[in-house]
Amino acid sequence: MQTPTSNPEAERRIQKLTQHLNPLPHLPNTNYLYMLSCASRTKLNVDTSSLSSYMRGKHRDIQEKVFNYFNANPHLQTPLEISKDNHRELCMKQLVGLVREAGIRPLRYVLHDPSTYFSLLEAVGSVDMSLGIKMGVQYSLWGGSVMNLGTQKHKDKYYDGIDNLDYPGCFAMTELHHGSNVQGLQTIATFDPITDEFIIDTPNDGAIKWWIGNAAVHGKFATVFARLKLPTYDTKEVSDMGVHAFIVPIRDMKTHQPLPGIEIHDCGHKVGLNGVDNGALRFRSVRIPRDNLLNRFGDVSHDGKYTSNLPSANKRFAATLGELVGGRVGLAYSSVSVLKVAATIATRYSLLRQQFGPPNQPEVSILDYQSQQHKLMPMLASTYAFHFATTSLVEKYSEMKKTHDEELVADVHALSAGLKAYVTSYTAKSLSICREACGGHGYAAVNRFGSLRNDHDIFQTFEGDNTVLLQQVAGDLLKQYQGKFKGGTFSVTWNYLRESMNTYLSQPNPVTARWEGEDHLRNPKFQLDAFRYRTSRLLQSVAVRLRKHSKSLGNFGAWNRCLNHLLTLAESHIESVILAKFIEAVESSPDPSSQAALKLVCDLYALDRIWNDIGTYRNVDYVAPNKAKAIHKLSEYLCFQVRNIARELVDAFDLPDHVTRAPIAMQSEAYSQYTQHVGF
C-alpha cells in the first residue's frame, strides 16, 4: 500500500483560494501614525452602560453601598501618606464602620452567598487593599474556619461575635519554617485527659506562627493549626493524628493584654498592605478546653479516644484544606479588580497624553503608537478574559458550597489553584508595565501604581505559593491523563482533553495548518482547538519524560527534572480554561453592541496568546509559516481596533472616581489636580 505524498501545487492552489475567500484586512506598512489618525478610524459603537451591566451582573447594589459609604465618609478614606500604626487603626475603623454603620455583614455572605461576598470584597479592596485583606482575615479565614471546620456548638458560641466584630480573630497556620507544606507544621496540641484540655505548645523557633494577620494589634482569638497528639495508654507514648484546627484565645477580652503563655510580636513594616497588623505567635503550654477543637472531621472524647467519619489522616487533611479553598477563589477574583484599576489608569492616561507627531501637525496620543498599544491592549483583553473566568469560578464555588458534590469540589480545588496562580502572576507583571507605560508620572505615588504593585505583590505567595499551586494543577492533569488510559473518564474541567488528546496523537492536518483567512483565524473553534492542542501536546510529552526519568531518578527526582515543563503545562491548561469561559461570555451577551466589542477583545486575547507561543505551533507544523505571519498581522490589526474602543472598555468597568483617583487619569482635570498635589 502506497503512502500518500503531499502535493505542493495542490496546497498552493488551496492557499490562494483561501486567501481570495477570506482576505486579511489591508494593513499598510508605512505611515503608521497617519493610519491611526482620527479621520481614518472606523470603530465599533459600544453601549458602555449595557456592557457595564453585563460585566457587573447582579451584585452591583452591594458594591454601590460600599462606595457610597466611603464617599459619605471622606475621613475614612486612606490618605496617600500615612504611618504603619495609623494605617492599621484606620483600617480597623473602616471595617467597623462598614459593619456597624453601613450595616454590611460579610459573614452571612461567606456562609450563604459567596458570590455576593466576593463582589463585596472586590469593592472593599478597591477602596484600600489592606481593608480588603483585613476583612478577608476576619470573615473568610477566621470566621470561615470556625464555621466550616467546627460543628454547631462552635457556630452557636462564636457566630455573633465574629459577625459584629466583638471577636476579632486570626488564622494561625503559617509558621516560620513551614508555609506551603502545611503537613509539616510543628506546633503541637497534646490532649490531657485528666483536665479534659488540649495543651498548645511551640516546640522550637521554627514553629512560631508567622505573618498572622490581625495578630499584632487587634486579634482576640486565633484558629491555630497544630499537630494533634493523643496519649497511647498501653505504651505510655503519644500518637500523632496529624494537623487539626483549634480555637485559641490570645488576648483578654477586657484588658486586651496577651493571655498567659501567649507571646505576641509585631512582624513590622512590610513592602505593602501595612494597614494589616501581621504578627507572630508563640505558645508556651497554653491550655484550652476540649470543646475548642474544631471537630467537623475528627473529634476527641473525654477519655482521649479519636473518632472520624473519614478513614485516613490524608483524607482528613484534604477535607480540612478543601474547606479553606474560598481564600484562593477570593484572591483570584480580587487580583482581577486590581488589574482593572491599573489598566484603567494606564489606558486613560495614554489616551490623554500627547507626544510627538508628523511634521507641522499636532502631537498625537501616545496610545496611537504601536508600542504603547502592544503594552496595554492585550493586557486590557486579558483583564476581560480574567473577569469572566474568575466570575465563573465564583459561581462554581457557590454551587459547590450548596451541593457539596465531590466532583465539583475537586473541580473547584484545581481551578482555584490554577486561576489564583496564573492571574496573580499576570497582574503583578502588568502593574510594572502600566507604571512604565505612564512614564515619569507613573512613578508619582499619587498615581497609585506603587501602592497597587506593593499591596498586590504578596498575592503571589499567600493562600498558596504560585509555583506550588501550578504543580498541583499539573499533578491533577497527569492523574486525569493516567486515568484515561485505564478506562476512566475526565472530570468536568478536563473534559476537553478527551478529544484533543486524540487529535494530538494524530498528525496535524497539512491543509488546515495553512488556512490563513480572517474568518478562520477569528473562529472560536480554531482558537480553542489551538490552545487545547498545545496543552495536550505538553501533557503527553511530560508524561513520557516523567516515565523515562523516574527509572533513574525516582519519582521525586523525575518531577524536579521536569518541573519547568510541568509549570508550562499547568499555565497552558489554565489559558485554555480562560479562553473557553471568555468565548462562552461572548456568546451569552444579550446586547449586540456589547457582543461585538467582546468578540473583538476575545479574538485579540486568543491570537496574541497564540502568537506569543508561535514556536510551539511551528515546531510541530500545527501552523505553517504563512499562517503564523497572518496571525501576527491580524493580532496587530485587532490591537489597533481595540485601541479605538479602549475608553469605552475601561469605562465599562464602572469604577468610581475615588478608586481610579490618579490625577493623570482624570480627563477634565488631568493636570490641574496633579499640579495642585505638589503645591502649585
Place of cell 479605538: 644
Do residues 542 and 566 make contact, with C-beta atoms less than 8 angstroms apart? yes
Place of cell 486579634: 219
- The burial class, CB within 10 Å (0-12 / 13-18 / 19+), for 463 is buried
Return d(Cα 284, Cα 264) in angstroms, integer.
Answer: 12
Has 213 been labeled as part of a binding site? yes
Do residues 464 and 458 make contact, with C-beta atoms less than 8 angstroms apart? no
Has 344 been labeled as part of a binding site? no
Pairing of strands 279-283, 262-266: antiparallel
Beta strands in 353-501 (DSSP E): 354-355, 364-365
DSSP state string for 399-426: HHHHH--HHHHHHHHHHHHHHHHHHHHH
**Is residue 431 classed as helix, strand or coil in its secondary structure?**
helix
Radius of gyration over every alpha carbon of the chain, rounded to an integer in angstroms: 27
Pairing of strands 221-232, 306-307: unpaired
Return d(Cα 543, Cα 538) in angstroms, integer.
Answer: 8
Return d(Cα 101, Cα 117) in angstroms, integer.
Answer: 18
3-state helix, strand, coil in the chain (%, to 5): 60, 10, 30
Return d(Cα 586, Cα 78) in angstroms, integer.
Answer: 37
Query: Which helix (H) or strand (E) is 502 found in, with range?
Result: helix 497-505
- The burial class, CB within 10 Å (0-12 / 13-18 / 19+), for 16 is exposed
Catalytic site residue 463? yes
CA torsion 541→546→547→552, rounded to 10°? 140
Return d(Cα 163, Cα 71) in angstroms, integer.
Answer: 24
Return d(Cα 250, Cα 171) in angstroms, integer.
Answer: 12
Cell of 85: 500604626
> Which residue among the candidates 463, 516, 636, 648 is catalytic per the annotation?
463
Beta strands in 148-236 (DSSP E): 169-172, 188-192, 197-201, 209-212, 221-232
Return the ∠ at Cα 36 (arms to 30 and 37), rounded to 5°: 115
Return d(Cα 487, Cα 27) in angstroms, integer.
Answer: 50
Amino acid, res. 408? L
Enumerate the known binding-site residues for FAD: 174, 213
The residues annotated with a catalytic role in the active site are: 463
